[in-house]
Amino acid sequence: MRARLTLVHGGLFLLAGIVLLAVTYVLVEQRLPGAVTLSVSDMKKFTSAMPQSDLSQVNAAELRRFLERLQTDVRQNTLDSLLTQGGIALMIVSAAAIAFGWLIAGRALQPLHQITETAHRIAGADTAGRGLHERIALAGPRDEVRKLADTFDLMLERLDRSFDGQRRFVANASHELRTPLAINRSLIELAITRPGAPSEVRQLGEALLTVNERHERLIDGLLTLADSETELAERVAIDLAEVVGYVMDQATGDLAVRATRGLTVDRDLAPAAVVGDPILLERLVHNLLENAVRHNTPGTGWVSARTGVVDGRATLVVANTGPVVPGYDVETIFLPFRRLRNERLSDGQGVGGRGFGLGLSIVRAVARAHGGSVEARPRDGGGLTVTVSLPAGS
């Protein structure tokens, strides 16, 4: 925009200068006498002023032609000088006008640069409301740019209040939703462990515990998804390889009982330093591995996890065998409560049973909260390869 304004300013100045030079040229040309043929009386007046000693050497016809040529040359030289020197002066002044136009345009656009830089800082933080406390606070006269900046500040203020309300809701929901489920679990466990409890009561209690556990996992997933889309509570330097190793070691004792039995697990964990929330990163890795185990080939499948630094970014790659995933359906699995196909997730298929459709949604939300990204692509023969890329830490 600065270059365009400068070119418009310089172009208009140059056009005005050309018009002015052309008008001056025409006016001067009209004021200068044209080619006039000297008459005999004019020649007599001219020769009468000359000394008598020179008249014998003067040829009247040649003298007349000489004076006429002299008059024409003077007229043409005057017009040529006006055009040449005026053009040179116009070029010099136009160059100065373009330089001043560049400076003036830069100063005029400085408020827009301030607005743009603020918007970039806010957008660069992430999409979860971090940075919305910042304001442009543009000073100066209340012109169009000042009104734009004030409107932008008002929008930021409303968004900031909205995200603050969301964060407060997540904090309150975390307590209000988990506490009743924890009380229900305690009461059911107390009822089924009471001496002399009938078998029907115990059977009913175990069924209720299963339902309660499922609800707890659903609420925990929803709260984790909401929490990962708000401001990170903690940012520490951590090695992604250590997180993956810890989760995989825990999985051999936890997931193996219901999922990993019969699967081949492969790991290649190179150092990959990141800065972020350890709890959320652990949940990201856990969900990836759980998803890879849950949707796998029973007995003959495998899961692999690799970490490292690629192009200056910490990378985690989790691959697995399993059902064939169409390429056009890959993005579906990242949506909350969306499953690829019911038969892929239903009980008795795969090795992990049915999920809630939140695992990869949480993975993507956590990655974005850390300034990273998640991509998935189908493997030949079935399964997925999921790649998580995060900004590398020091």
Contact between 306 and 269 under an 8 Å Cβ cutoff? The reply is: yes
Residue 62 has pLDDT above 50, yes or no: yes
List, for residues 225-281, the tens digit of each pLDDT value.
666 666 566 688 999 999 999 888 875 544 443 444 578 888 999 999 999 888 888
Query: Strand 384-391 vs strand 313-320: parallel, antiparallel, or unpaired?
Result: antiparallel
Does residue 35 lie in a domain region? yes
The Cα 356–Cα 287 span in angstroms is 12
Residue 276 neighbours by CB under 8 Å, 6+ apart: 232, 235, 236, 238, 369, 370, 390
Mean pLDDT of 151-165: 83
Contact between 369 and 128 under an 8 Å Cβ cutoff? The reply is: yes
Q: Which structural domain, as residue segments, surrounds residue 372?
A: 237-391
pLDDT score recorded for residue 160: 81
Torsion of Cα atoms, 256 then 258 then 263 then 266, to 10°: -40
The 10 Å Cβ neighbour count of residue 335 is 13
Mean pLDDT of 100-127: 79
Host H or E run for residue 266: strand 264-269
The number of folded domains in the chain is 3
Residue 34 has pLDDT above 80, yes or no: no
pLDDT, greater one: 263 or 343: 263
Does residue 17 lie in a domain region? yes
Backbone φ and ψ of 356, nearest 5°: -100, -10
**Does residue 378 sit in the same domain as residue 303?**
yes
**Does residue 363 sit in the same domain as residue 272?**
yes
- Among 228, 258, 278, the domain-final residue is 228
Residue type, 332: T
**Does residue 44 sit in the same domain as residue 165?**
no
Residue 363 has pLDDT above 80, yes or no: yes
List, for residues 159-195, the tens digit of each pLDDT value.
888 877 776 776 677 677 778 888 888 888 888 888 8
The length of the chain, given as a count of residues: 394
Q: Which of 45-49, 233-237, 297-301 has the lowest mean pLDDT?
A: 45-49
3-state SS class at 275: strand
pLDDT, greater one: 392 or 125: 392
**Does residue 376 sit in the same domain as residue 269?**
yes
Q: What does the angle CA 244 – CA 249 – CA 252 come to, to the nearest 5 degrees?
A: 125
Where are the alpha helices (H) located in the chain, listed in sequence order? 2-31, 40-48, 52-55, 60-125, 144-193, 199-228, 240-253, 255, 278-294, 342-345, 359-369
pLDDT, greater one: 325 or 339: 325
Does residue 345 lie in a domain region? yes
List the CATH number of the domain containing 370.
3.30.565.10
- Among 186, 201, 228, the domain-final residue is 228
pLDDT score recorded for residue 244: 92
pLDDT score recorded for residue 272: 92
Mean pLDDT of 330-342: 70
**Does residue 62 sit in the same domain as residue 16?**
yes
The 10 Å Cβ neighbour count of residue 51 is 6
pLDDT score recorded for residue 388: 94
Mean pLDDT of 330-352: 57
**Does residue 200 sit in the same domain as residue 241?**
no
3-state SS class at 388: strand
The Cα 372–Cα 17 span in angstroms is 56
Mean of pLDDT over the chain: 78
Q: Read off the tokens for 205.
A: 């209690």
**Does residue 374 sit in the same domain as residue 260?**
yes
Does residue 152 lie in a domain region? yes
pLDDT, greater one: 377 or 214: 377
Does residue 130 lie in a domain region? no
The 10 Å Cβ neighbour count of residue 136 is 20
DSSP designation for 50: S
The Cα 307–Cα 271 span in angstroms is 7
The 10 Å Cβ neighbour count of residue 222 is 20
DSSP designation for 392: B
DSSP lists the bridge partners of residue 385 as 319, 377
**Does residue 386 sit in the same domain as residue 241?**
yes
Report how far Cα 363 is from the mean position of its chain's Cα atoms. Answer: 21
Highest mean pLDDT among 59-63, 121-125, 375-379: 375-379
Backbone φ and ψ of 262, nearest 5°: 90, -5
Residue type, 175: H
**Does residue 357 sit in the same domain as residue 267?**
yes
Does residue 137 lie in a domain region? no
Does residue 75 lie in a domain region? yes
Does residue 192 lie in a domain region? yes
pLDDT score recorded for residue 380: 87
The 10 Å Cβ neighbour count of residue 131 is 16
**Does residue 258 sit in the same domain as residue 386?**
yes
Residue 262 neighbours by CB under 8 Å, 6+ apart: 298, 299, 300, 301, 351
List the CATH number of the domain containing 216.
1.10.287
- Among 125, 160, 188, the domain-final residue is 125
pLDDT score recorded for residue 19: 92
